[in-house]
């Protein structure tokens, strides 16, 4: 899975040129996906722009790269927040103007209209952001059933769908960063993100630690070397906090152990386990040989070592031997095939000839099959 790591405060680049800083992200709370980024530009006189997530080419923990130029960023809508007060719902229903029709805009020097002596509530409008969407920023509270558990630090989303995949939550005075999966999110608003996770379960989650990629990969290699498994054929790569494992291990237990070890390394947010197991490869080849009418009754043993498949046993003809090799080569995870099958017809061969003809029908007066 390929992700975007939207680290609030990250440097935004237009091509190779710095062009702002990520101020906030805009999310659709119904679909739980990122729709836009709010990029802050300028030094003394700052201007914020609303950019669709579709212009993001890549996003790591520290940098976000856009497919538009610095000049083109200025063509996108400007983002502003405007505060106002209005009478509490239900107040003044007998007056000419109802509460929902009365608003008093706020400014640093005070309201721009005479504030009536009635109960008031304060609201905020996000200009150029549709009202159905929510604006999330660093510090947005994250809450569970017992109260606030921390604040949003990162928002990770899938590159293709823009769906939120994880929240990195800043927790405690001495910062700790649990990684909360999107499946735990119950409700999203600018006032907070509610998650269905207990305080105890929160402590069991993986934790984020900003670390150099080389340091994370080196630690993984050292941890794998201490285990009683052959992990010499594993290759690890890290992108945007997502670890990708490829290569070969002997069995499913080794695949599980490698994944658990990689997930335990600080700085790994998620993991894509693409490891092949020799036991699974051998099982795939055996099943394919059993399903094919040409080889279904052939006596063939399948051995896989790091994806190199060896076929051993006895078959009735050269055609069956060649067919077995062809079938094995097409199976997932197979690197190459060593065909050690011996051709030796036995007493059952004549009675099995009709099965062979389904794949190799006779051609010409002599036919195409051995007798």
Instruction: Determine what percent of the chain is predicted with pLDDT higher than 90.
Output: 23
Q: pLDDT tens digits, residue range 65-120?
A: 999 998 898 889 888 776 656 666 665 555 555 555 555 655 555 555 555 555 65
Question: Are the C-beta atoms of 323 and 369 separated by less than 8 Å?
Answer: no
Res 370 pLDDT > 80: no
Q: pLDDT tens digits, residue range 251-310?
A: 888 899 999 899 888 888 878 888 888 888 999 899 999 998 888 888 899 999 888 999
- pLDDT for the residue numbered 220: 92
Using CA atoms, how far residue 200 sits from 85, 168, 197, 213, in Å, is 40, 17, 8, 30
Domain 3-77+133-204 part of CATH 2.40.110.10? no
Bigger pLDDT: 117 vs 26: 26
Query: From 1.20.120.1630, 3.50.50.60, 3.40.50.620, 3.30.1340.30, which CATH number describes the 213-277 domain?
Result: 3.30.1340.30
What DSSP state is assigned to residue 76?
Answer: S
Q: Which pair of tokens denotes residue 331?
A: 């199976």
Confidence of residue 366 (pLDDT cuts 50, 70, 90): very low
* Residues 44-77 as b or e (16 or more Cβ within 10 Å = b): eeeebbbbebebbebbebeebbbebebeebeebe
Confidence of residue 209 (pLDDT cuts 50, 70, 90): confident
Mean pLDDT in residue range 57-68: 85
Res 156 pLDDT > 70: yes
Cα 285 versus chain centre, distance? 30
Overall pTM surpassing 0.75 (yes/no): no
Cα 45 versus chain centre, distance? 37
* Sequence-distant (≥ 6) Cβ neighbours of residue 255 within 8 angstroms: 249, 273, 275, 277
Domain 213-277 and domain 279-357 have a common topology: yes
Confidence of residue 354 (pLDDT cuts 50, 70, 90): low
- pLDDT for the residue numbered 84: 59
CATH no., domain 279-357? 3.30.1340.30
The full set of domain ranges for the chain reads: 3-77+133-204, 80-127, 213-277, 279-357
């Amino acid at each position: 899975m390929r992700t975007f790591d939207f680290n609030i405060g990250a440097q935004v680049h237009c091509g190779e040129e710095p062009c702002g800083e990520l101020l906030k992200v805009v999310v659709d709370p119904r679909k739980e996906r990122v729709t836009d980024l709010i990029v802050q530009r300028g030094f003394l006189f700052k201007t914020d722009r609303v950019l669709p997530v579709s212009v993001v080419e890549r996003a790591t923990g520290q940098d976000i790269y856009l497919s538009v130029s610095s000049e083109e960023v200025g063509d996108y809508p400007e983002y502003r927040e405007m505060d106002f007060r209005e009478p509490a719902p239900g107040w003044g229903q007998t007056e000419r103007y109802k509460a929902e029709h009365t608003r008093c805009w706020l400014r640093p020097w005070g309201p721009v209209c005479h504030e009536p002596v009635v109960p008031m509530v304060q609201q905020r409008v996000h200009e150029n952001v549709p009202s159905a969407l929510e604006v999330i920023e660093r510090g947005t509270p994250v809450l569970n059933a017992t109260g606030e558990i921390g604040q949003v630090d990162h928002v990770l989303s899938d590159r293709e769908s823009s769906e939120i995949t994880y929240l990195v939550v800043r927790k405690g005075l001495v910062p700790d960063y649990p990684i909360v999966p999107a499946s735990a999110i119950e409700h999203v608003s600018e006032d907070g993100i509610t998650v269905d996770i207990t305080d105890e379960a929160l402590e069991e989650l993986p934790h984020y630690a900003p670390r150099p990629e080389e340091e994370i990969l080196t630690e993984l290699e050292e941890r794998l070397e201490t285990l009683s498994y052959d992990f010499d054929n594993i290759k690890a790569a890290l992108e945007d906090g997502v670890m990708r494992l490829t290569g070969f291990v002997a069995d499913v237990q080794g695949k599980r152990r490698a994944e658990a070890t990689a997930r335990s390394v600080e700085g790994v947010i998620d993991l894509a386990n693409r490891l092949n197991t020799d036991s699974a490869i051998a099982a795939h080849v055996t099943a394919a040989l059993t399903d094919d009418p040409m080889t279904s009754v052939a006596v063939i043993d399948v051995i896989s070592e790091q994806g190199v498949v060896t076929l051993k046993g006895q078959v009735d003809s050269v055609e069956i031997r060649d067919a077995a090799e062809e079938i094995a080569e097409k199976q997932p995870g197979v690197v190459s095939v060593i065909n050690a099958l011996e051709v030796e017809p036995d007493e059952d061969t004549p009675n099995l000839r009709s099965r062979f003809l389904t794949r190799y029908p006779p051609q010409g007066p002599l036919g195409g099959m051995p007798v």
